[in-house]
Amino acid sequence: MDLLAEAKRIEPDIVKTRRALHRHPELSYGEEWTSDFVAGELKRLGIEVKRGVGGTGVVGILKGGKGGKVIALRADMDALPVQELSDVEFRSEVDGVMHACGHDTHMAMLLGAARLLSDHKSELCGTVKFLFQPAEEHGGRGGALPMIEAGAMEGPKVDYVFGLHISSTQKAGEFGIKGGAVMAAPDTFKVTIFGKGGHGSAPHETVDPVYIAAHVILALQGVSSRMIDPVRPFVITVGSVHSGTKENIIPDIALLQGTVRTLDEATRKLAKRKVREVAIGVCRSFNADAKVEFEEDAYPVTVNDPKVTGRVARVLRTIPGAKVKEMDAILGGEDFSRFLRKAPGTFYFLGTMNRVKGCVHPNHSAKFKVDEDVLKLGSASLAMLAIDFGTPREAR
- Cite the active site residues: 299, 372
How open is the CA angle 245-248-252, to the nearest 5 degrees? 55
Question: Which residues pair with residue 191 across a beta bridge?
Answer: 256, 292
248 DSSP 8-state letter: T
CA dist., res. 257 & res. 347, Å (int): 29
Question: Which residues pair with residue 258 across a beta bridge?
Answer: 189, 238
- The counts of H helices and E strands in the chain are 10, 16
| Residues 278 and 223: beta-carbon distance below 8 Å | yes
The enclosing H or E element of 117 equals helix 103-118
Cis, bond preceding 156 (omega within 30 deg of 0): yes
CA dist., res. 18 & res. 102, Å (int): 9
Question: Which residues pair with residue 257 across a beta bridge?
Answer: 190, 240
Question: Which residues pair with residue 235 across a beta bridge?
Answer: 261
121 DSSP 8-state letter: G
Compute CA distances 129 → 68, 75, 113, 162, 281, whole Å. 13, 11, 11, 10, 50
Residue type, 118: S
Label residues 160-198 b or e (16+ Cβ within 10 Å = b): bbbbbbbbbebbbbbbbbbbebbbbbbbbbebbbebeeb
| Nearest alpha-carbon partner for 178 in 301, 331, 309, 344 | 309
Residue 169, SS3? strand
Label residues 274-297 b or e (16+ Cβ within 10 Å = b): bbbebbbebbeebebebebeeeee
Strands 125-133 and 66-76 turn out to be: parallel
The enclosing H or E element of 10 equals none
